Structure 1
Amino acid sequence: MWRRDQPTEGRTPHWSGFTLRASDAKFSDPTQQMDDAMDFLKRYERELAVLATFPGVDTRDLDFGIEDRDVGIQGDVFPSELLLLMGRLNINLGISRFPRLLKDDAEQLRASER
């Protein structure tokens, strides 16, 4: 959670907000992320509807972290049911793309986290 104009993690945001995890699926599994997000939105639909009209909440985003694939053109299709539910709850769709880690890179990252 962060509050408008209160420094946090080296930044001073100009809006208040918080982060929720709707899926634990890997970046390489966007289909599972979408399924998990749909389940999350359905489960918490009432609470999210309240947030959609809460004074001072300027934006609501659902961001999907998707790994770049080794293809000429990368496309991901989001189910209309998910998009309709997001629209009803006034939630924006975000897509954050991440470079695919090579096996050696992933092993080095895991080693550095220990």
Structure 2
Amino acid sequence: MGAKSVGPLQYSSRMKPQVCVCTSEAQNGLQKFWVVRASAQTPEPDPSPALQDPLNWFGILVPHSLRQAQASFREGLQLAADMASLQIRINWGQSQLRGLQEKLKQLELGAT
């Protein structure tokens, strides 16, 4: 249908996101990210999944490549959340290591 046939004017006014990225902070200050289906967060009754799926904007018989692209996007979103969580843990670990190295230097200087 082309890029001009689907745009903001064609979006439903009731359109809701299918997934949300959530975050929490642990006691040690580390943040964690994860992906949650939006329907799991809202207490509203969901319309049928067929009505919520944006692929249905393109008709009933959507090309398989479009479904694969949607699945790849979802997987990429999950991987991005996982990588963000890991990057925060890595940065935290590096700062802890730097702090310990600094303490070790001070102890070594105090011993000499």
Interval containing the TM-score (normalised by the shorter chain)? under 0.3
TM-score of the superposed pair, with normalisation by structure 2 = 0.27
Greater percentage in helix? 2
- Greater Rg over alpha carbons, structure: 2
